[in-house]
């Protein structure tokens, strides 16, 4: 069974920078896994942020960026705002299946 | 936009059919997914259906119990859930998938399924 692993929790100060990562139990994450990133706030549906590793949606602030880093997919938040406090999920595509990471709870403090 | 419906309280072993109504885009051009979230837990992908229904995938956790389908003429996606278990209790979301970039870009607000006696 494929497992996708994210940091359970991270804390960042307002105005700071933080990087969330997404690792695959099958090995290095590549662009061929089409990494997606989602933000979810309490009581809301997930909101798509990044697709195909690096591509922002029209509604995604420019301070959110996606990349590959050390064999993992990564989401970097720059100039963090209080409203960025949320749960963040990555999604990897494995051909016939899709697997979400366990999520990272980001605290802005 | 996507709007799920059909959730509710069902006894273990029972069945439920979820619906997802699409509007504002050409539904027949997009693949669709079902995703769920158990209380206090993360997201779990359940099932995928291609735009023309010729390709269907399931997660192991629901294979053989859940059936995904769609009606492009009605702009609707469905999830038939049989032999429900307590661990199926969750909020169920439908999500649009844009190909070939594999982008799960539009989500509904979800519908809640509670499996309990």
The dihedral built from the CA positions of residue A30, A88, B32 and B34, taken in this order, carries a sign that is positive
Residues of A in contact with B110 (CB under 8 A): 45
Q: What is the mean pLDDT of chain A?
A: 97
SS3 A12: strand
pLDDT tens column, A51-95: 999 999 999 999 999 999 999 999 999 999 999 999 999 999 999
Q: Residue B110 and residue A45: Cβ atoms within 8 Å?
A: yes
Query: What percent of chain A clears pLDDT 70, i.e. is strictly above it?
Result: 100
Give the closest of A34, A97, A102 to B59, CB-based: A97
Mapped onto helix, strand or coil, the DSSP state of residue B97 is: strand
How far apart CA B107 and CA A94 sit, in angstroms, is 21
- The pLDDT-based confidence of B99 (bands split at 50, 70, 90) is confident
Question: Residue B22 and residue B25: Cα distance in Å, rounded?
Answer: 7
Residues of A in contact with B54 (CB under 8 A): none
The reply to whether omega before B100 is within 30° of 0 (cis) is: yes
Q: Which residues pair with B115 in a beta bridge?
A: B10
Query: CA separation (Å) from B16 to A14, B70, B74, B107?
Result: 45, 16, 20, 21
Q: Which of residues 51-90 of A touch B (CB under 8 A)?
A: 51-52, 55, 57, 87, 89
B45-83 per-position pLDDT tens digit:
999 999 999 999 999 999 999 999 999 999 999 999 999
Q: How confident is the model at residue B20 (pLDDT cuts 50, 70, 90)?
A: very high
Q: How far apart are CA B15 and CA B8, in angstroms?
A: 11
CA angle B111, B115, B117 (to 5 degrees): 140
Tokens encoding B111: 């519908």
Nearest chain A Cα distance for residue B14, angstroms: 26
């Amino acid at each position: 069974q494929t497992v996708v692993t994210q940091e359970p929790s991270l804390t960042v100060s307002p105005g700071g920078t933080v990087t969330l990562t997404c690792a695959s139990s099958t090995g290095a994450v590549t662009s061929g896994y089409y990494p997606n990133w989602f933000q979810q706030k309490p009581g809301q549906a997930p909101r798509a942020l990044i697709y195909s590793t690096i591509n922002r949606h029209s509604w995604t602030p420019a301070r959110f960026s996606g990349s590959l880093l050390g064999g993992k997919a990564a989401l970097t938040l720059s100039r963090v705002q209080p409203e960025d406090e949320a749960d963040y999920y990555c999604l990897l595509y494995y051909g016939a299946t899709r697997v979400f990471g366990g999520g990272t709870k980001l605290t802005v403090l | 936009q996507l709007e799920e419906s059909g959730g509710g309280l069902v006894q273990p072993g029972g069945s439920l059919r979820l619906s997802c109504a699409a509007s504002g885009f050409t539904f027949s051009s997009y693949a669709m997914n079902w995703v769920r979230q158990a209380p206090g837990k993360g997201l779990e992908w359940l099932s995928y259906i291609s735009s023309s229904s010729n390709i269907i995938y399931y997660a192991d956790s629901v294979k053989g119990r859940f059936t995904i389908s769609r009606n492009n003429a009605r702009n609707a996606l469905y999830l038939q859930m049989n032999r429900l278990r307590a661990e199926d209790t969750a909020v169920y979301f439908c999500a649009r998938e844009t190909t070939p970039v594999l982008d799960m870009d539009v989500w509904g607000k979800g519908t809640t399924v509670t499996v309990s006696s």
